Chains A and B, each alone.
Chain A
Amino acid sequence: MIEHKILFTGTVGAGKTTAIQAISEIPPVCTDVLSSDPTIGKEKTTVALDYGEISLGKTERLRLYGTPGQQRFAFMWKILAQGALGLVILVDHSRPDPLRDLMIYLDNFKTLIQESACVVVICKMDESHPPLLEDFTQAMKQKQMVYPVIPADVRDKEQVLWILELLLVQMETRQ
């Protein structure tokens, strides 16, 4: 069995925990606790990690890890990035400054992104107001980072599988 470690990161409430729960074949490990921060707009928040697994055919398995979103847990970002072969960055389009949010993760995971593969997913996208998809692409280009940027609803298993597909294609072409 060949195993790859894939990491989900991104803003709080974007859907990291939801995405892993949507596709995991095992009961996911979830470290969500009651949130005492009303600004995040949900009752619970991940304080350590999410973990799930999904197999691809008979010979490959993906180990799916999710990070906490908040910067006070940045030490977990560092721990969880070790050995990862691909990164999914989820950006919540409904937050005040999604472009700035994306930059935080691009900067912090820069080495991992350069050494592995990356897909940027815009969650809860509302196309009636900026930033538009090309704004994200443009901002990444300025950092010499050219990776797919797609909108998705990560509650939908098929869409999360499509994100993994985009990641795997990159991983294969890099090998």
Chain B
Amino acid sequence: MNTVVLSDPSPEPSPQLIGDDLRAKAASVLERFVDQFGGVGVRGAVISTADGFDIAMTAMPEAEGTKLSALSSSISAIGDMATLEVGIGNNHQSITIEGGDGYIFILNIPSAACPMILSVAASKEIMLGKLMYYARLVVEGMAEA
């Protein structure tokens, strides 16, 4: 088996192109989103650029939000290729990953100028319908940005 040993990645600074306005908007949209759950179920959320830089995160350690942004970027792009291949759309709308102790939800935030991704980490207590409802509101709120 071939393995790869990862050396410590040097931190990549988040690019300047992400304006302060966009960051502020993403932060407030995320705040409103987690407030809907009153501390039950949602473990954290991050909005990132489609190429994997975090824009704003909430209830999540920064290192985790940064890493999740890159992971979600890859998963999301593969999701788009899969929907395209099977002919169910040009882009995925959401991807759900179920772990033993919770979920990760990844939603595409379409935008011509700055395509983004919402990633939400949740525990098994989460009510899926409610989560999807409010996550879509985040997508709608940001897609206009």
Contacts and interface: CB of A to CB of B under 8 A. Distances in A.
A31 B78 contact: yes
Contact of A37 (B2, B15, B70, B71): B15
A77 B16 contact: no
Chain B contact residues, majority secondary structure: loop
A71 B16 contact: no
A70 B71 contact: no
Interface in A50-109: 68, 70-78, 81-84, 104, 107-109
Contacts of A115: 2
B50 to A, nearest CB: 4
Interface in B1-47: 1-7, 9-10, 12, 15-18
B78 A48 contact: yes
B50 A47 contact: yes
B141 interface: no
Interface string A1-45: 000000000000000000000000000010101111111000001
Contacts of A48: 73-75, 77-78, 81
A102 to B, nearest CB: 13
Q: Which 10 A-B pairs have the closest CB atoms?
A: A71-B9, A31-B77, A48-B74, A33-B50, A37-B15, A36-B49, A72-B70, A81-B4, A48-B77, A112-B2
